[in-house]
Amino acid sequence: MTILEEAPPITAAIQATGVARAFGSVQAVQDATLTVERGKVTALIGPNGCGKTTLMLMLAGLLRPDAGEIRVAGADPRTDSAAVRAAIGWMPDQLGSWDNLSCLQTLTLVGQSYRIPAAQARAKGLSLLRKVHLEEFADRPTRVLSRGQKQRLSLARALVHDPAVLLLDEPANGLDPRSRVELRQYVREIAAEGRAVLVSSHVLAELDEMVDDAVFMSKGRTLGDDAARMVAHARTRYRVWSLDVDALRRALTDASVPFEEAEGGAMVSIADEAHAQQALAWLVGAGVPVHRFGPAGSALEQTYMAMEEDRR
């Protein structure tokens, strides 16, 4: 994680404590607490309808929380909502674009809406279009864009004013595999520039490789340290596949290594990559025919599933 070492001193870009919001009788967010730090990518994970978007809207300064404290870039959305919105680049989950306007026109006009001089806004728009690989659509109306292309235009739109904080609501939706990889790299780059990024998604495997922190949400509540512990635990789980399953289990049992049985092998807990290397060397040395060895899938996904099971 060299990116983190290069990043500027870490201070919280978003700090939310005990945030709640109801729509009529529906309590969309009950108690949300989270911190998003500069130079880091934080994931917001939860099932559909758990209040992720509502929470993001409150952080973006579009929706007033009923209770709780929010600070974005040091400003309180209640009293300094304009400063909060200026500090944030928001990519909504709903894709909307001005059908009749070209991509470049869209970005230039949005830039001008931030009071960026027209020439600057245009130049920034062009460079962003290049960044999200839409430069050949610069002068074409946005109505010709496909869903994934609109998604990328929406990301570019969120960045026209060089925001300190980026809120991405389901950014990977509708993207093809290549665009997903590019999005992941791009988001990491944005974080490396010292910006804070909060991503909500349910494509968890995607997030695994992108995020530094994760905040889990369920039924309007953020799950604090428990979920963090579960993620940490999930990250230590390794899966070993052996041609001779019995030999593997015998070796583990003999060395009194705790393990769970899994199809074609076993699950073990290994603290870090150095230990994993030693464990593999030991198994091979002990004559166990290991043919696959690696982390047991997405840590976030495991946590998510475990969390969901707990709540059932």
Partner 1 sequence: MTTTETSPNPTVTAPARKGNPWLPTLHGTFLVTRIELLRRRPSTKGWIFYGILLAAILGLGILVSVLSTAEKTSTPLELVLVLVLGAGMLIGPSLSATSINGDSGEGVLAPLQMTHLTAGDLAVGKLLSSWFVAFAVLVTTTPFLVYAYARSGWHLGELLLVLVVILFLVLTATAVGLAWSAIAARAVASVSLAHLTTGVLVIGTLVLFAFTAPLVSDTMTETDRYVAWDELSDEQSTALEDAYNTGDFSAVDPDALVCDEETYEYGIAHTERTAWMVLINPLVVIEEVSPLVNPLTFEEDGRAAPGIFANVHQMVSSARIGPTEADAQMMEYDECADIATMASGDDESADGGNAYQDTWEQQQEEQAMYPRTPWLGLGLQVLLLVGAMAIVTHRLRVPYRTLRTGTRVA
- Sites of contact with partner 1 (CB under 8 A): 23-24, 53, 57-58, 60-64, 77-83, 85-86, 88, 90, 92-101, 105, 109-117, 119-124, 126-127, 157, 160-162
Cβ 116 to partner 1 shortest distance, Å: 5
Nearer to partner 1, 23 or 282 (CB): 23
Cβ 63 to partner 1 shortest distance, Å: 5
Nearer to partner 1, 46 or 89 (CB): 89
Nearer to partner 1, 4 or 82 (CB): 82
How far does CA 260 lie from the centroid of its chain? 30
Among all chains, which residue has been given the structure tokens 């665009």? 179
Cβ 92 to partner 1 shortest distance, Å: 4
Q: How distant, in Å, are the alpha carbons of 78, 83, 120 from that of 124?
A: 31, 21, 6
Give the relative orientation of helices 299-311 and 225-235 as an angle to the nearest 10 degrees: 130
Cβ 85 to partner 1 shortest distance, Å: 5
Beta bridge partners of 108: none
Nearer to partner 1, 191 or 227 (CB): 191
To the nearest 10°, the Cα dihedral for 252, 254, 257, 260? Answer: 50
Question: For residue 4, what are its two tokens?
Answer: 């983190």
Nearer to partner 1, 152 or 161 (CB): 161
In this structure, which amino acid lies at residue 101?
L
In this structure, which amino acid lies at residue 245?
V
Cβ 286 to partner 1 shortest distance, Å: 53
Close Cβ partners of 5 (under 8 Å, ≥ 6 residues apart): none
